[in-house]
Structure 1
């Protein structure tokens, strides 16, 4: 049953409801609802409450107060609780403060995360005939089902990269998901560290042949930061596996130096300067000198826990940089 409408505001849903896409931004959903019913975005927002301006949802996110949320639920023909489960920025902690009249606001940056283009095929399966924008912790995501890499680039097609020519990226993502199921949240914390390490490598050597080739294959500029997380993704996943092995050896008293020696060999195969590439690895080792095992598991495969600097990893919240113990924030505009 839908939530009861308020005394003021809309009392009936629009003629044509739209299906929401899980993780969709509020602005993206509202824009699609307006267009499906032959309305301009501003015309629909006039029914949701008061605000200063309507913004194209690829550029900004929309937030509402409690009354605005209730008005939107009526117009969408959905219960408030269902909208809040589907659209991250309608969650209770994202509702604008105040119990006054219904209102909405479009700040230029989401409160948390990034506006990332959704997979066009996933969106089409839910009846979307235009680009859908998702709220993601990082400025990219992978769709395994349709072999798509999408990011926060703007334009009709700029945010979608097909992975047909880069099967190693898709394979790496599937290995990452499998490792998460086997190891638990610690695997994601260690992947966050590996991603930071790989980004450090890319920032100092973006022209590394394997990364240059991948970017070229999908029509990206190898030296632009947009290409970075895509082109080094397989290496980041590989390094994450090595870090899991290192942590297990640390817990069981194994030889951790074996892992570092193996990484030296792999760095050479990737065409990286081994001496320079060791720098972020040394930083990581300094922060992972002491084991932090969880109870349970076997001696061979103990359950792992991560120490200081990984508090957000246990929550599976925030960006990879936020969940890593490695503190650097590299320039994302371009490679130096």
Structure 2
């Protein structure tokens, strides 16, 4: 009688695998199992009682569609099998955070839902993998549906496409510069900077929807080797303008002047920038007006920013009621999704 599922593993597997920061639990488990000559079904037999075990071959075949979820006992089992401290696994694998665990204090349980509930499965940059001597494809659990590797200038997303799996942005200098500017916005203004980028990104999505044939966006998609009107291309082609718009939104918030005249002057400023960007201002005006309406009143007296040290920027009152400080760009924005 095999008591592994009841008593749990007592020692690590012979071959160790180091997790990648942000990796999905399912991705890590596959790599650990393969390193030890175990298919997914054999590995899962050592983890506990679970759901979806009736079809482990499909789970193993389509890692881009599903994530592994465990309860506290299951996390402990993974710690033992991997030979890694629970705390290290929690820091590296987002789905093992305390608030992501399955409920229950009994025997180890795992589930493998076909839609990742807490983010997007995005491929890790293969060149980063080569640099770290990781030969297998690694899937990251990302809050957003895309990632840009600043080291290797590669854009990956959750489109699940392998044609191409990663998009080079080396020829898109404006995207490279935008990536650096976004990081600077995050470093200087913390959550407020990221929320303003989220707002700007949602505005640019609406802008693109009204003017998808804008020449600069079409050319950017073609340069990246993507179809201009494909859903996969949209985040990449509007990325530079979204970052620039976020800085303009920051300027509005910092000024603290919100009368109709102040909002009108800010719109004129954005219109001038749209002319510089060579995109049609009229196509984005309604989205900009909506953003201004949601930022028409300053933060309430009781609102406070997260963080320590110097005073952090606190965004407008209505924005703070709608947006959240964690999750996807859509969740961190006060703007509606398309």
TM-score, normalized by the shorter chain, greater than 0.5: yes
Instruction: Show the counterpart of 2:37.
Output: 38
Q: Does 1:69 align with 2:79?
A: no
1:149 touches 1:163 (CA, 8 Å); kept in 2?
Answer: yes
In the TM superposition, what whole-angstrom CA distance separates every residue of 1:275-316 from its partner, at most 9, and x where no partner exists? 2321111111111122339899xxxx985211223358673x
> 5+ residue gaps in structure 2?
none
| SS state at 2:249 partner | helix
2:48 touches 2:74 (CA, 8 Å); kept in 1?
Answer: yes
More moved, 213-222 vs 242-251: 242-251
Distance in 2 between the 1:274 and 1:59 partners? 38
Instruction: Show the counterpart of 1:323.
Output: 332
Instruction: Show the counterpart of 2:225.
Output: 219
The 5-angstrom pairing of residues 92-111 of structure 1 reads 92-111=98-117
Deviation for aligned residue 1:266: 2.4
Q: Does 1:275 align with 2:286?
A: no
| SS state at 1:232 partner | helix
The counterpart of 1:309, out of the listed 298, 316, 319, is 319
1:21 touches 1:123 (CA, 8 Å); kept in 2?
Answer: no
From the superposition, tell whether residues 139 and 252 of structure 1 become closer, same or farther in structure 2 (CA, over 3 Å). closer
Q: How many residues align?
A: 320
Deviation for aligned residue 1:270: 3.6
Distance in 2 between the 1:326 and 1:312 partners? 8
Q: Does 1:250 align with 2:250?
A: no
Distance in 2 between the 1:95 and 1:183 partners? 31
Distance in 1 between the 2:155 and 2:7 partners? 44
TM-score (ref. length: structure 2): 0.87
The counterpart of 2:192, out of the listed 186, 192, 205, is 186
Distance in 2 between the 1:112 and 1:34 partners? 24
2:6 touches 2:48 (CA, 8 Å); kept in 1?
Answer: no
Q: Does 1:289 align with 2:296?
A: yes
> 5+ residue gaps in structure 1?
331-336
Give the superposed CA RMSD.
2.5
More moved, 119-128 vs 109-118: 119-128
Instruction: Show the counterpart of 2:7.
Output: 8
Q: Does 1:20 align with 2:38?
A: no
In the TM superposition, what whole-angstrom CA distance separates every residue of 1:62-106 from its partner, at most 9, and x where no partner exists? 011222211111111111221111100011111111223222111
From the superposition, tell whether residues 212 and 154 of structure 1 become closer, same or farther in structure 2 (CA, over 3 Å). same
1:131 touches 1:156 (CA, 8 Å); kept in 2?
Answer: no
The counterpart of 2:271, out of the listed 264, 272, 294, is 264
Deviation for aligned residue 1:117: 0.9
Distance in 2 between the 1:24 and 1:263 partners? 38
Deviation for aligned residue 1:7: 7.8
Distance in 2 between the 1:38 and 1:295 partners? 52
Deviation for aligned residue 1:6: 10
2:6 touches 2:107 (CA, 8 Å); kept in 1?
Answer: no
